[in-house]
Chains A and B, each alone.
Chain A
Amino acid sequence: MISDIDAARAEALAQISAATTTTELDAVAAALNGKRAPLAVLKTGLGALATPDDKKLAGQALNAAQQAVATELTGRRHELVASERARRVEAERLDLTEFVRPARRGHLHPVTQAWERLEDVFVGLGFTVAEGPEVESDWYNFEALNMSPDHPARNEFDTLFVDHRGAPPGTTVLRTHTSPVQIRAMLTAAPPLYLVAPGRVFRRDTPDATHMPVFHQIEGLVVDRGITLGHLAGTIQAFTEAFFGPGFESRLRPSYFPFTEPSAEFDIRTPSGDWLELGGCGMVHPDVLRAGGVDPAEWSGFAFGFGIDRMASERHAVGDLRDMYVGDIEFAEQF
């Protein structure tokens, strides 16, 4: 009996190690665990043994054999699963630098990116963001800004006029600057006002590498009690550092605009030491405050303005402004 058990055990173990796939092993396992498996058949013969000692010895041998088979099955299964996984992983090898049609991501226009960055800087300084129409009345665009109809400075704006039947001829314009938003803001809300007004503006300019008839400006307006030229200079400097980064300096130089007095140009100096003319600014002219319904004896304020397109083109070293507006996808995808 013992020799039969040993033979059956050896045979079972041989079958297990002969299985080369988990599927084969499953078949082997089913056979070995079935009722007709040699060890199972031997077990049914235990009762026929003569002595209790024989029974005990043979029973022990059988249990040990079945244990060994079960252990071997588990071990072999682990081996086969591991090797099959390893083969599969090997078979799945990919070159990750080899990919077809990469997913296309969308791009914001560089002017929009600059626009949003500028808004964020001023929001951080406690400003709100105001908007106004692009087709504007002469009164908001010029007259309220201290430029009466015969003011010579008007000629410098190269204004585009619009045929609009709701107003007298020659009094509807494409806004030449975002400054009319100042007036609208003052007429809408009482001071204190801390706002910027970004937007599209228009000039009767032939497009070239550095000029576009349609471009974008951001205007700033602060009206509060006790606002001085010192606050203007401080705000320009705070903006310069926040927008351009540390190491950038700003300066104000006297200049002239009909809607501010004292007026200034403001320049920034790059860390490499070059001065760059950025925009115009000044203390809001008393007549402009009055046009906005603000008493200049009680309130004072400053305003500033500069080009957004310029910020974008400087940042990305765009060599020809016209390229920004034709809609070439190869341009858009650079930013």
Chain B
Amino acid sequence: MKVSLSWLADYVELPDDADLVVAALADLGLPVEERWATGPVPGVVTARVVRTERHPDAAKVQRVWVDAGDGLERHVWCGASNFAAGDVVPLATLGTEMPDGRVISARGILGIDSDGMLCSARELGLGSDHSGILVLPADSPLGVTYGDAVGLATDTVVDIDITRNRPDAYGVVGVARDLAAHFGVPLRLPDATVVVNGPARSVPVTIVDGDRCGRFTTVVLSGIAVGPGAGWMATRLQAVGQRPINNVVDVSNYVMLELNQPNHTYDLDLLRGAALRVRVARAGESLVTLDEVTRELTADDLLICDGDDVAVGLAGVMGAENSAISATTDTVALEVAWFEPGGIGATVSRIGLRSDASTRFERGVDPYGPDRAAARFVELLAETCPDLVVHAGAVDERAASLPSPQRQTTLRVAEVERIVGVPLAAAEITALLDPIGFTTTPASVDGEAPGDGDGGGGGEAPGVLRVELPSWRPDCNTEIDVIEEVARHYGYARVPRLVPLSPLHGHLTAAQQRRRALRRTLVGLGLSEVLPNAFLAAADVERAGLGIDTSAEPPEVLRITNPIVHGEDVLRPSLRPGLLGAIALNANRRRPGVALFEIGHVYRPGPGELPDEREWVAIALAGREAPAAVEVWRAVAEAMGIGARIDQGRPPAGLHATRAATLLAGRDTLGVVGEVAPEVLAAYDIDERVAVVELDLSGVLKAEPKAARWRPTSKHPSSDLDVAFVLADDVPAEKLEKAIRQGAGALLNGVELFDAYRGESLGEGRRSLAYRLRLQALDRTLSDADVAAVLQAVTAAAAKLGAERRG
């Protein structure tokens, strides 16, 4: 909401320093988002046009010589030609900073300098007129600031961000009331009595749908001469971004902005039946609003209709063309009403039409404000309409939805301290609330008010206050609402700060610590974390070959009902598409061989109250083969104290059929390891191989592995034994290693595969696997006989798998 400080100053005495006002507004919860100065632009002076001249080589501009009062002839280039010699015009002198930020320089045309610039109204921030240079009154003195010539004073405009709980602050008076309370000065409200000076003439009102319209007042005004509005009003309106139209519209807007009371005028000669009906629209009914758009209506939209029941306005949002005032209007019916906020909000969001009026009605205007608004309207219009007649017979129709004029609540004095942390006495609370219209009285001792502690005896401070809630604060209903007002006007900054002493010991849960350990392990393995988009297109899921049918029924993926981008409507069922996308992006940017991971949630449909949502980790190694993924899996398994069987029996969807495995922990699938299938890589346009590990973390993070147990280390040297076996390709190396471990027995300290060899000499479908066994005893150095015994046992164990010792 834009408001100028000069306007506020009509109702409240403000400090001269605008910074203090801005700071006060912030303290009151009315933060200033932006502020700017209005009024004359410094450096722009009045000048008289001496002569003009066309230049043969410049078709669109002319040369102008002006006199700025100092007798010198200044030459300027000018694109407009709406003036003649003798006219007084605004001249921006060299170095002037214009409202749009441009600084006037001598830059010329055709090598001829320009000694300044002549300005249009728009260039000076005076409305939208850019059709020509602003021509000032002919009798204006020369060489003075043009503001003096047009009666324009310097002012500051602030744009306030208004929260939903402060509908009253949509009116200048509402802001002024808060400032008056803050600075401890009186609020000077405009008068509230309509002075009747004409015969009875009424526009009767029928409220058909009383749940949607609580109050509707009309008063008939005649003797109107539609013409330009008052200059001071136009300046004010313009300063806050309202375009001046004519005296009637300007007054209507001014009253709305001042008192937060939208209002509407109907040309009474055009209003059929000279009566108004307020009803919801019928199905199929439509209305052409003032912006010349045909609005199709539903039974949720409230209409103002004329005596013939023909719609003349969309209640609380916008009027219609058919009864709008025109240049010849003489008599109007002034409507000031109160509409139920929720209904206006529903219409606004359905038809997407928001107006200054609807914004106010939607948040809630003062249901007991129409009288003051009508009075103010009359007072202001009389300034430009000396023959204005206010007719007797004003109508004030009320209906069920009108809020009660006597809304109240109780406030326990002790509760203020319990919530705010400041011990305030009843009198102090009253002093804070009274200036903003919350009237307090001590609650009766035998009242039902709770917590009535120390308010018993005569003369003592009451423990409970009865608070009358102001009608312009529909957001305030309960005790806590009032406590907020007390805190706000006491000042948040004055509340003493305390750090509460937590009786808990602060900690991360075991699962949270394990998540961090996992991250550290992955970073230690040279992987970098990425956070790709959680929203996918169905095509992304298909492309990754996850074995998920995105068009299946019942659905196999979870969809967003109202996606941001058409198509990006699938919540990722796997982290893999995100990582593959990131690899493709890096490859595109010539960054091959990236090693990435993500820890994040994946989502699938589920039968529960909420869908199936799990936390996974996915690791992708571009340019690496499957064993690299197994190596990462092994490192993660060791760091996290988990284990799983590498089952190559059924290759997981989307992975390389002969280079991928499922990780099985007992009968549960823990995840997958291996290489991405070539067709998937092709679909992502990835030329590198990609090795992946994916783990379901729901179990991994909850697991509580035992702490590693100490194993004594031998003081004697170890003996290494290299041994190679030839065995069939379909026997996993894992099994051979297990056999070696079993065969070697207690002397084995470690075993490592150091070579795998396939060759013709070994025969088809066979390979040689060479292991290095580290043998060691705690109590002695091993003898050749010890080593020979191990070799024999290992050979025997391997033979059971069909493995022959080589060499």
Contact = CB atoms under 8 A, between A and B. Distances in A.
A122 B504 CA distance: 12
Interface stretch (A12-20, A47-55, A84-92, A252-260): A252-260
Contacts of A134: 601, 603, 613
A260 to B, nearest CB: 9
Contacts of A163: 555, 558-561
Contacts of A286: 480
A233 B39 CA distance: 40
A173 to B, nearest CB: 9
Given A327-B530, A327-B581, A133 B595 contact: no
Given A104-B526, A327-B581, A126 B29 contact: no
Interface stretch (A3-11, A38-46, A58-66, A106-114): A106-114
Nearest to B603: A135
A202 to B, nearest CB: 8
Contacts of B524: 106
Given A133-B610, A150-B342, A230-B422, A103 B502 contact: no
A229 B558 contact: no
Contacts of B487: 229, 254, 262
A135 B611 contact: yes
Contact of B502 (A126, A153, A172, A325): A126
B480 A261 contact: yes
B596 to A, nearest CB: 7
Contacts of B533: 214, 325
A162 B558 CA distance: 7
A82 B31 CA distance: 81
B357 interface: no
Interface in A175-206: 192, 194, 200, 202, 204-206
- Residue in A123, A155, A161, A328 whose Cβ sees the most chain B Cβ within 10 Å: A328
Contacts of B499: 125, 231, 234-235, 237-238
A202 B564 CA distance: 11
Nearest to B596: A327
Contact of A253 (B484, B492, B504, B606): B492
Contact of B529 (A109, A127, A326): A109
Contacts of A262: 419-420, 483-484, 487-488, 492
Given A166-B609, A200-B534, A192 B504 contact: yes
Nearest to A107: B528
Contact of A230 (B498, B560, B581, B613): B498
Interface in A103-146: 103-109, 111-112, 116, 119, 122-129, 131, 133-137
B220 interface: no
Contacts of B488: 254, 262
Interface string B478-514: 0011011001100011011111111111111100100
A253 B500 contact: no
* Interface bin, chain B: 35 or more
A160 B529 contact: no
A242 to B, nearest CB: 11
Given A106-B527, A162-B558, A164-B610, A256 B166 contact: yes
Contacts of B522: 106
B579 interface: yes
A332 interface: yes
Given A122-B506, A123-B506, A128-B504, A330 B591 contact: yes
Contacts of A133: 610, 613
B558 A327 contact: no
Interface string B141-180: 0000000000000000000000111100000000000000
B532 A233 contact: no
B26 interface: yes
Contacts, number: 257
Given A251-B493, A253-B26, A128 B532 contact: no
Contacts of B422: 230
- Residue in B362, B562, B611 whose Cβ sees the most chain A Cβ within 10 Å: B611
Contacts of B586: 327-329
A233 B504 contact: no
A47 to B, nearest CB: 48
B611 A332 contact: no
Contact of B481 (A109, A124, A169, A261): A261
B562 A332 contact: no
Contacts of B349: 155
B610 A329 contact: no
Given A234-B499, A325-B531, A166 B608 contact: yes
A256 B630 CA distance: 53
A213 interface: yes
Contacts of B493: 251-252
B509 A129 contact: yes
B528 A234 contact: no
A273 interface: no
Given A152-B362, A256-B165, A325-B533, A135 B509 contact: no
Contacts of A166: 606-611
Nearest to B483: A262
Contact of A127 (B164, B166, B481, B502): B502
B492 A127 contact: no
B594 interface: yes
B528 A230 contact: no
A72 interface: no
B653 interface: no
Contacts of B581: 327
Contact of B585 (A119, A251, A327, A333): A327
A100 interface: no
B300 interface: no
A285 interface: yes
B502 A332 contact: no
A263 interface: yes
Nearest to A103: B526
A193 B525 CA distance: 38
Interchain residue pairs A-B with the least CB separation, the first 7: A126-B502, A327-B582, A254-B29, A228-B421, A230-B421, A256-B163, A106-B523
Given A228-B417, A254-B29, A255-B29, 13 more contacts: A107-B528, A128-B507, A135-B571, A160-B560, A161-B560, A166-B606, A174-B560, A192-B502, A228-B420, A253-B31, A300-B418, A327-B578, A327-B585
Interface of A: 103-109, 111-112, 116, 119, 122-129, 131, 133-137, 150, 152-153, 155, 160-167, 169-170, 172, 174, 192, 194, 200, 202, 204-206, 213-214, 222, 224, 226-231, 233-235, 237-238, 251-256, 261-265, 283, 285-286, 300, 324-330, 332-333
16 contacts: A127-B502, A127-B504, A134-B603, A135-B571, A164-B605, A166-B610, A200-B534, A202-B534, A224-B503, A234-B497, A254-B28, A254-B487, A256-B166, A261-B480, A300-B419, A325-B533
